[in-house]
A and B are shown apart, each in its own frame.
Chain A
Amino acid sequence: MATTSFKINIVIDGKDYAGEPNQTVLDVARANSVDIPTLCFNPLFPEQRIGSCRLCLVEVKAGGRPGLQPSCTMPVSSGLSVSTISDAVYQARRTVVELLLSEHVQKCRDCPVSGECQFAKLCRDYDINGVPVCAECPNQGEGCLLTRGELCLGPLTYANCNAYCTRKGYRCEGCHSIMANEDILRFGLKAYKDAGFTKEEILVAAKVFSYDSMEMLEKIMTQEGF
């Protein structure tokens, strides 16, 4: 006889959803295509509820302890109402991404997941500047515009545009301006060296949108032996 397990009704962002007794809020949300970002949650081992990255925080509005709670460890209970889109949730998640970014090496051009990078997507979703265009560009590696001889400014430029130009095959012109983080610049400049661009060429290209950063860029280029 098929067991008809009883359902628990919860509210997410004002809409009713039904969940099974052993499910978490995250399970119910994912099952119903409500977007909740995660990093430490592993879909292959859903029973491992770690609760450490804090990206899945939701705000409990009713039926539980009020405040921010991680949805991946919060069991569904009747009467529970949570918000995944409140200001508090947005700010908390944004802080988490910012904090992670503050310790991130950002060697995006070498990273195997670049182009599909969850983290870069999070940065874009939460409006954080700090990763270069390469993190969002699917053309890295063999398809990189630099290796094809085009002076693409992707490695030096703030992302958050979803690499619109490079996806279409046009070089990045650096319209989001040169990044302020010297370490990232240093790393990005290596790509130009490999591709054989000169200091002057890069400076002329970068000057268009980043006139103020020229001094810093020039200094770093000199240090890097351009």
Chain B
Amino acid sequence: MKISKIVHLRDMAQRGKESMDNGTPQVIFGLATCGIAAGGMPLKEYAEMYLDENDVHADIVSVGCIGMCHAEPLVDIKLPGKPRVTYSDMDIDKLKKILDEHLVGEEPVTELAMCQLTDEISECEHGVIAETDVYDGIPKYQDLPFFAKQIRVALRNCGIVVPEDIEEYIARGGYRAAYRSLFELTPEEIIGEVKTSGIRGRGGAGFPTGLKWEFCHKAPGDVKYVICNADEGDPGAYMDRAVLEGDPHSVIEGMIIGGYAMGATDGYIYIRAEYPLAIEKLKKAIASAEEHGILGDRVFGMDYSFRIHIREGAGVFVCGEETALINSIEGKRGEPRPRPPFPAVSGLWGKPTNINNVETWANIAMILQRGGEWFSTMGTEKSTGTKVFSLVGKVNRAGLIEVPMGIPMKDIIYEIGGGIMDGRKFKAVQTGGPSGGCIPEEHLDIPVDYDNLKTLGSIVGSGGMVVLDEDTCMVDVARYFLTFTAEESCGKCTPCRIGTRRLLEILEKICHGEGVMEDLEVLTSLSEQVSASALCALGGTAPNPIMTTMKYFMNEYVDHIENKICDASVCAAMFKSPCQNTCPAGTNVPGYIQLITEGRYAEAYDVNREANPFPSICGRVCEHPCEGRCQRAQLDEPIAIRELKRYASDEAFKAGVGKISTLDDVDKTIAIVGGGPSGLSAAYFLRRMGYKPTIYEAQEKMGGWVRYGIPKYRLPHEIIDKEIQDIIDLGVVAKTNTSVGKDITMETLLNDNDAVYLAIGAQKDTKLGLEGEELPGVLPGLQLLKEMNSGKSVDLGQSILVIGGGNVAIDVARTAIRMGTKVTVCYRREEDDMPAYDEEIEHCREEGVEYHFLVAPEKLIVEGGKVVGAVFRKNVMGDFTKWGRRSPVATDETVEIRADRVVNAIGQQLDTDFAGGMNIVGDSRWIPVEGTGSSAWFPKIFAGGDAVTGPASVIDVVADGKRAARNIDLFLGGNDRLAQLEKMNNTNYSNVEPDNAEPMQRQGVKELNADDRTCGFEEVVMCMDPECAKKEASRCLRCDLSAESEGGDE
């Protein structure tokens, strides 16, 4: 039937509505390319079989992508008159269950359901389900965080309608705008409407579409063309594909309106052949539009003819550039042409031509239908409307989203995207593909629009948004994109053809650890030159990834060049294995794990001891950042590196360990202030290098935080004693009960020694800042912990209230509960935000500690001159900050919690008493140091550990001590004696690449059960048994070997 009257459209709309809700139950599959890739096809086949076998009457429908690519495969079930319910992450078993229970049994499976479609967030006509028919217990679409901030204009039909079904498209208001434009509006009025809307080209450059149309409209000529640019080639971008696969008619309608407004008779859709499904849907859509008289001769029976042709491109990135695209349609080599002449004057076959991106075309019908005014109310003043982004990379909820322009980047990443995967740290978001740039954390609160991203050096581009986490090396990112552009450069102009290759060579050199600092200057100047003088946008924007990464991540470039370090463990030439690279102390992890498999525990201990004097301590309390980078995690689970370390050291202690290698004596003395892990580590390495260190410790025993801060049930004191004694035995002088600043002054130390290392820790409690804090009943957390751990008797009363959420708070709580006290812990944020280790928070709960979250102390309750509790202000979590955490917002409610004692454990500070009259700290919070760790004002003084960085983990401060030892050696004129020491250890072990890629579970460790734990201070985590340890060690993939054999290639 040919449509020529508005009643025809109404008829078809009626039929479309019926086809969407026609009294037959429907099983709806999301089968765009993403759904098929996720395994949707077999599910559909299964459903067909199921209906056949069970003789169930239902329709099976395939729709496009709704955007939730993270939850695919998606299957929806719609019963007549009821909301459509979406089930995510389907497999055959789950599918059978929902078919059984929901389709046949007519009861939705609430536990599997993700959401239900009641009234949509799409900006178009749709039916609303009556409130009474809405299912209980299943969230509505618009209530999901993924959809809550979205406004769907270009994606209005994607995932909702059957893409090629013209009736369904019309039922949702489709072709009404084209009909009205042709019958009621003049071309000038249409262009006026588009100009009013303020829409800018969605392909990347952001040129005002209305203006572009006007140029083409005014250009003289009888023959004109409109082109839809569907040559989408950015890595990580698939907006155009989703629109064409999910709703091809929206693009066709936009092109009809544009063609009419500009006087074009033919339209071309230039699409890459790599999108076969999109081409198929488009062809079907064009055919059915022709059949209904919407395309072809006499559109809608009017005196206007318009045809659409599809041109398949060979997947060349440069053909996304409009003049190269025109060349390609003409059958020439896809190379850009010089502009002027602009395509609006002389484009395809020399005729005036207008080119717009898929998404721009998809918006046009809505602009004409709802008015330019409506469109311009969305977004910001200069970037109106909505924009589709493909949010991919390391976010929890990857997918296709459409948001109003001007939405803060943090909302996209943290609210829609659900934050970073696996709790990793955000590093940057890459927008605009190879032409774009990387935006770092400090700019995450910018509203996303064309101009804002440009000021940051990036671009909106076609809408690719790749989220990068801490495992990404930014030099490698720049290298990756340059590889892409150098390969895709068409070769026409000199700067792009040769310039991108030279840039790439420099980046590769840096990634291989062969870079020099001068390279950075060349990179900068060559980047500027290439972008200023290239012929087209490909070359003009190709250096953007380099320029933005250099702007925001210069430290990584410098690290790669000067220190030959790739922190993210990506550039393989710079490290042996990711675990060793990640260990702050640089422990040879694959080495000692191999030694464990060979049963050589003492040697395994020695390999550990080369890098870190406390293998046994770290085997119990290390934060094990190494496990986070373990490559085994990509197969099954990371190796239990820490537990193996403990196993090796426990075994080695049984057998007895020998002496560690040392160098000849040097007659230079070094004073070390603080006998904690950092000071001891510095003393250990300095002594081994031959220097004569003396440690000054204020407490009775050495060990500092490790002894006084970590409870015995986590770290028995025998272990600490043993490892410290080994250091003393090397010839380190330890002066305990000597407080620097009181018993001996800094000046004396400075005069009597060749260098001083300050490792004094963060020993003071941060004050609550509340009235009554000095009264009895309030206990400072650090001091309390110190007293409890040194075995002094403390009076905790019947119950205590711990304020804070860090490790101190948790350690106090766990120690107190072992003393038979009732413990309540109050924290001002949510549990996930607690800085304490996750496993300890859980242990703590198991042991009976009561938690209160989202409460901030406001007043101490004082009765009879004694504090007996506190009044807390209840918080709720507010919006995300750019750092990816929600900030607590105070409410009107308060809550009163009483206890015999209140423990303040909200934070730690530097105790500056040591300095006496010397200005070592200045106004800083921590001791300010230069890059080498030497004091900003006294070159002879070095500092490290908590006193410099704030509270840090054991392995971090051990590494600080080691670094200080090396720098002190260099300062005193040594010839990098640490490197000589490292060369001395040549323990041999088998270097045969293991064949162990078969999945094998990580071996667990046994823990005391909670009841046994609270009765005493016995170590909670038990050592692995020998069989487990051997098994676990044999899981190691020996990444160190592959790195060597590959010779550092990527």
Contacts and interface: CB of A to CB of B under 8 A. Distances in A.
A52 B494 CA distance: 7
Nearest to A74: B340
A149 B499 CA distance: 42
A81 interface: no
Interface string A148-184: 0000000000000000000000000000000000000
How would you classify the secondary structure of chain B's contact residues: helix, strand, loop or mixed?
helix
Contacts of A52: 492-494, 535
A74 B535 CA distance: 12
A49 B336 CA distance: 12
A74 B338 CA distance: 9
Contacts of A70: 338, 535
Given A52-B492, A53-B494, A96 B533 contact: yes
B532 A92 contact: yes
A68 B534 CA distance: 9
Contacts, number: 53
Contact of A95 (B492, B495, B535): B495
How would you classify the secondary structure of chain A's contact residues: helix, strand, loop or mixed?
mixed
Interface stretch (A99-107, A133-141, A206-214): A99-107
B535 A51 contact: yes
Contacts of B338: 49-51, 70, 73
B10 interface: no
A99 B340 contact: no
Contacts of B525: 95
Contacts of B532: 67-68, 88, 92
Interface in B455-511: 492-495, 498-499, 502
Point out which of A52, A55, A96, A100 has the most chain B C-beta atoms below 10 A from its C-beta.
A52
Contact of B494 (A49, A54, A67, A88): A54
Given A70-B338, A99-B499, A51 B529 contact: no
B493 A95 contact: no
Contacts of B494: 52-55, 96, 99-100
A96 B495 contact: yes
A52 B333 CA distance: 14
Nearest to A77: B340
Interface string A63-103: 00001101001110000000000001001100110011011
Point out which of B494, B502, B534 has the most chain A C-beta atoms below 10 A from its C-beta.
B494
A100 B499 CA distance: 9
Contacts of A57: 533
Nearest to A96: B494
Nearest to A101: B498
Interface in B535-553: 535
Given A99-B499, A100-B498, A53 B529 contact: no
Nearest to A88: B532
B499 to A, nearest CB: 6
Contact of B493 (A51, A74, A91): A51
B535 A102 contact: no
Interface string A3-33: 0000000000000000000000000000000
Interface residues on A, range: 20 to 34
B526 interface: yes
A23 to B, nearest CB: 14
Contacts of A91: 529
A95 B340 contact: no
Contacts of A74: 340
A41 to B, nearest CB: 12
A54 B340 contact: no
A185 B494 CA distance: 26
Point out which of B338, B492, B499 has the most chain A C-beta atoms below 10 A from its C-beta.
B338
Contact of B499 (A49, A50, A95): A95
A91 B498 CA distance: 16
Contacts of A88: 532
Contacts of B492: 52
Given A54-B533, A74-B340, A99 B493 contact: no
Given A49-B338, A70-B338, A75-B340, A99 B535 contact: no
A19 to B, nearest CB: 15
Given A52-B535, A70-B338, A95-B529, A102 B498 contact: yes
Contacts of B535: 51-52, 54, 70
A73 B492 CA distance: 14
Contact of B533 (A50, A73, A92, A103): A92
A62 B621 CA distance: 68
Contacts of A103: 498
Contact of B526 (A50, A68, A73, A95): A95
Contacts of B495: 54, 95-96, 99
B913 to A, nearest CB: 58
A103 B498 CA distance: 8
A96 B497 CA distance: 11
Point out which of A74, A75, A95 has the most chain B C-beta atoms below 10 A from its C-beta.
A95
Nearest 7 interchain pairs by C-beta: A73-B338, A51-B338, A95-B529, A99-B498, A92-B533, A52-B492, A52-B493
Given A54-B535, A92-B533, 17 more contacts: A51-B338, A51-B493, A52-B493, A54-B534, A55-B494, A57-B533, A67-B532, A68-B533, A70-B338, A73-B338, A74-B340, A75-B340, A92-B532, A95-B499, A96-B494, A96-B495, A99-B499
29 contacts: A49-B338, A50-B338, A51-B338, A52-B492, A52-B493, A53-B493, A54-B493, A54-B494, A54-B534, A55-B494, A57-B533, A68-B533, A73-B338, A73-B340, A75-B340, A92-B532, A92-B533, A95-B529, A95-B530, A96-B494, A96-B495, A96-B533, A99-B495, A99-B499, A99-B502, A100-B494, A102-B498, A102-B502, A103-B498
